Structure 1
Amino acid sequence: MEPIIKCQYFEEPLLQFADGREHIDPKIGISRYGPKSFSPKRKHPDTVRIGFIGSADTIDSAKSWLKKTSEGVLCDEDHVEFPGYMEDRGFFSRLIFDQDWNGQLTQKEIDKILEKKPKERFEFLLEILEEKLDLLSKKDQPPQYIIVALPDNIYGKCKGVDYRDQEKGLVHRDLRRAFKALAMKYQIPTQFLRQKTIDGREKDDPSKVAWNFFTGLYFKAGGIPWGPIGLTPGTCYVGIAFYRPLGSKFNSMQTSLVQAFDEHGDGLILRGPEFQWNSYRMNSRSPHLNDRDANNLINIVLDRYEKEMGQTPQRVVIHKSSTFWPGEKDGFKQALGQRVKKFDLMSFDTRQSHIRLLTTSSYPPLRGTRFMVGDMDFLYTTGFISELGQSHVLHVPSPILITDHVGQDTPRETLLKEVLIMTKMNWNSSRLGGKAPITLRFSDIVGEIMREIPSDREPMPQFKFYM
């Protein structure tokens, strides 16, 4: 007997902007109403002090690009015009520059970097960047946001390095990730700005580049670009992932990574305890927790939530990219059952592409389409956006698969609507939605930066230091 296919459509979630105004598209919402924290003012940065690290030429060109782009960028019919980052429009904020906030790489330092071998070159550049960052952070009035604008020849030779260590084996390091990890110590958000972006060699439309850059800048400066509508009050949404500490032996040492969000979209990043995972012995490439570690991890999350919010969440929803093993289920259920009223555990396969819907038109399936084939449950988080009459993906979209659901406290329909909302909560980009919910979206990015943070140093919990 062939399985029955059932379909359901969820309308595109609305977002909230200044004065409580609503729209589905972040770009249109900010253009028309301004960012959420602008009015009523909550964390809105009226001004942002901008610092730079780079050569004399790259600092000058980066500053010129920022000044020009902040005035606004026109677009073609396929994009939304960028209104600017100005006091009277766009993000309603002003950029401030000062020569005292420039950390210049001298020609002598550049020559010394380039003459070294790859590993030493990589580490020496990091040392110099940290020296500049340290000096800027100790100014009487330090910058609030630092742009790293390296010359192409420096970035090209130092953006990554692979080497073999006698104790740690093969090691790969990435410049951006390593710098982000060390920059946290100075508590100033940073952003790499490539020369190809400044001189227009980027493949993306200039208005799209501007939208993404300044949306991230506004958030890192303390603002809230937009807020979600429809997430359940009193809920703590938790994303659990794993990463391998830098240079760990035998691919067995793993550390848990937790991202917790409230109904406003505010999130925290927490580093869980280390544990041993041998993929060969356990016959699984995806790490899993035992009941004790799962219990401990959730208690860490709830303790932090209570500290930040002043109360215990009424409900907890856990997202994971691999199915829940028996030990994980038992540990999570035990910890949650003792402290919260309702909870659901969900896992997703966001990379599956072997099952798709085929439409009778030339357009892809609608974003927000849910369909079930027997016991399998799918959700299109990318696709055609009927409210705009547009498709924001350049490839044939595929749905995510719900691979596991433990708990019966929330209807599946409600859980999937929340997933759709959380695909729109990436404040590092102004795109309408991503494929994975924010609980899982940053897992790889954050994990790669977290692995560079020594175990004896507490990582910063705010997302702006990882973006």
Structure 2
Amino acid sequence: MRAEVIEEPSLEFAGGARHLDCRFGIAEYGPVDLGTEGAPPAIRVGLLGDRRSLDGLNRWLESCRTAIDAKQRDRPGLWPQFPGFSSGVGYHTDLVLDPRLQREIKGAELQRIESLRPQQRVDEALEVYLAELEALVQQGRPDVVICDIPEILQDLGVPEPAGEAEEPEASGSVVSRSGPAFHDLLKAGAMRLRVPLQLVRGSTYDSSRVGRQRRRSWKPRGREDEATIAWNFFTALYYKAGGTPWRMVRRSSELDVCFVGVAFYQEVERRSTATSVAQVYNERGDGVVVRGGPAKRSNRDRQLHLTKDDAAAGLTCALTAYKDEHRHVPARIVVHKTSAFDDAEKEGMLAAATALGIDGCELIWVTTPTTRLYREGYHPPRRGTFLALGEEECLLYTRGSVEWYETYPGMYVPSPISLRGAVLERGMLDVAEEVMSLSKMNWNSTRFDGRLPVSLRTARQVADIIKHLGPDSYVEPTYAYYM
């Protein structure tokens, strides 16, 4: 038994150029869709917040049009310069700030909400924010709305800034968040407006507001440097406006492939029922969200499973949505799930693939093992460390020491993920190499050492929001509305 290290995969940018770091690729070559019809030439931004927030956001967004110096440290690969956000550099698009697309939430309204009990605060804050969002959209449809969440609302369930939160463990449990989850409720409620939201904390654009957050479960870790904050923020903004920052490198000999991540959630009104959700991706990162059927916990392994019919229907629905979006079905599909595939699920999914004329279908169980690997010296195993545990299982470190960064950039001791093939057509090394590439398809953070493949990470984010939608509610198929 011997471990090996998978080489860090490159990403593709404008003109077919390649780089292993998304930030350097954008700065040197531009986004992969540069010069294409789908690339946004300008992004009309709406703003929503109190007066102090609107003033601060306007100043910060204007300042980000020009370059922001790199953090003065000895690791340039980890902290590069931000080139600025304008038509001539970086993402090669302009930021349009129109005062008519900016709505102020009055301080008196926020003070009234602050005096209420937690659940009342959630309800009242949602009512105020949704009313203002609707008015903003009616004034003139922006491409993205940036919502500032003041300090007095941040204990209502607002996640940590992009790029700072640790990714969740891979497990077969139902996706859930403790607390009121104001972030999720706001995005669910605003979905009918058909405009993506970007929620920010004041500390994102104003260093003087660091440490004022009141969320009890949140412990300040220190603010990211200015260039990193800008990289994370504007990458997400570009994607939400319809752009494609980068994509996986695809060999010309490879078949068209789509990746399906399956997660489970409990509907708010039906706590005893778990429902599946699928996130479908191609190598460009173009995603389609599909709500699936109910799941039940097995008495045998205590994990959530779909019936044969629901597994077949769910995958058929996902592939049909993919076909509607891309005008063709893929030649190969790979399904990732954080619970084991039982016989009924395997039969149902394989039958769905066959019915659509797809010969290549792989089912991969992704979980967190108890096994850890160690290397000599101070640093943890390198990202890409691969250990085969037989023909159908392996360990893979997607988090670990990164040669390009010249360090391990995480805060906690990294653990590997386990990949188990329920249905395989390739060796586990090929599967692991693909997961390494998928872990770099993250529009919420420009650090490329994501723990989970994009298929599962985004499926879990979608589940957090979609559980607040009723069974007959409109479900936006685009991932930009959930991130």
Same-fold call, TM cutoff 0.5: yes
SS of residue matched to 2:3: strand
Task: Point out the more displaced range, 418-427 or 393-402.
Answer: 393-402
Structure 1: distance between partners of 2:39 and 2:375: 44
8 Å Cα contact 2:9-2:20 kept in structure 1: yes
CA offsets per residue over residues 324-363 of structure 1, 9 Å max, x none? 11221221222223331111111011x33x3222212333
8 Å Cα contact 1:6-1:373 kept in structure 2: no
Within 5 A, what are the aligned runs for 1:309-458?
309-339=326-356, 340-349=358-367, 351-352=368-369, 354-373=370-389, 376-387=393-404, 389-402=406-419, 404-458=420-474
Quote the residue 1:145 is aligned against: 144
Larger Rg: 1
1:198 is matched by which residue type in structure 2?
Y
Could you say what the CA RMSD is over the residues aligned between the two structures, in angstroms?
2.2
Matched, 1:185 2:205: no
Quote the residue 2:162 is aligned against: none
2:441 is matched by which residue type in structure 1?
M
Quote the residue 2:304 is aligned against: 287
8 Å Cα contact 1:171-1:247 kept in structure 2: no
Question: In structure 2, do the counterparts of structure 1 residues 193 and 326 end up closer, same or farther at CA, with 3 Å as the change threshold?
Answer: same
8 Å Cα contact 1:230-1:418 kept in structure 2: no
Structure 1: distance between partners of 2:399 and 2:178: 35
Quote the residue 1:245 is aligned against: 267
Matched, 1:116 2:116: yes
Pick one of 36, 58, 65 that aligns with 1:63.
58
Structure 2: distance between partners of 1:154 and 1:409: 50
Question: In structure 2, do the counterparts of structure 1 residues 111 and 388 end up closer, same or farther at CA, with 3 Å as the change threshold?
Answer: closer
Structure 2: distance between partners of 1:142 and 1:389: 44
Quote the residue 1:23 is aligned against: 19
8 Å Cα contact 1:371-1:377 kept in structure 2: yes
Quote the residue 2:218 is aligned against: none
Task: Point out the more displaced range, 125-134 or 192-201.
Answer: 192-201
TM-score normalised over the length of structure 1: 0.89
8 Å Cα contact 1:122-1:158 kept in structure 2: no
Pick one of 5, 12, 20 that aligns with 2:8.
12
Quote the residue 1:459 is aligned against: 475
Aligned-residue offset at 1:155? 3.3
Q: Percent identity?
A: 30
Quote the residue 2:182 is aligned against: 175
Quote the residue 1:81 is aligned against: 81
Structure 1: distance between partners of 2:446 and 2:428: 28
CA offsets per residue over residues 368-409 of structure 1, 9 Å max, x none? 22112457511111222335544333333221112x313342
Structure 1: distance between partners of 2:445 and 2:158: 22
Aligned-residue offset at 1:257? 0.5
1:464 is matched by which residue type in structure 2?
A
Extract unaligned runs of 5+ from structure 1.
161-169
CA offsets per residue over residues 186-241 of structure 1, 9 Å max, x none? 11111111112222125222222111111101111111111110374321211111
Question: In structure 2, do the counterparts of structure 1 residues 192 and 408 end up closer, same or farther at CA, with 3 Å as the change threshold?
Answer: closer
8 Å Cα contact 2:277-2:291 kept in structure 1: yes
Quote the residue 2:32 is aligned against: 36
Structure 1: distance between partners of 2:388 and 2:329: 35
SS of residue matched to 2:2: strand
Higher strand share: 1
Structure 1: distance between partners of 2:116 and 2:431: 53
Quote the residue 2:229 is aligned against: 209
CA offsets per residue over residues 144-180 of structure 1, 9 Å max, x none? 11111133124346759xxxxxxxxx99531110011
Structure 2: distance between partners of 1:101 and 1:447: 30
Aligned-residue offset at 1:127? 0.9
8 Å Cα contact 1:370-1:379 kept in structure 2: yes
Aligned residues: 444
CA offsets per residue over residues 16-66 of structure 1, 9 Å max, x none? 11121110000111111111112x324222211111111111111121122
CA offsets per residue over residues 294-348 of structure 1, 9 Å max, x none? 1111111122222222222211111111111122122122222333111111101
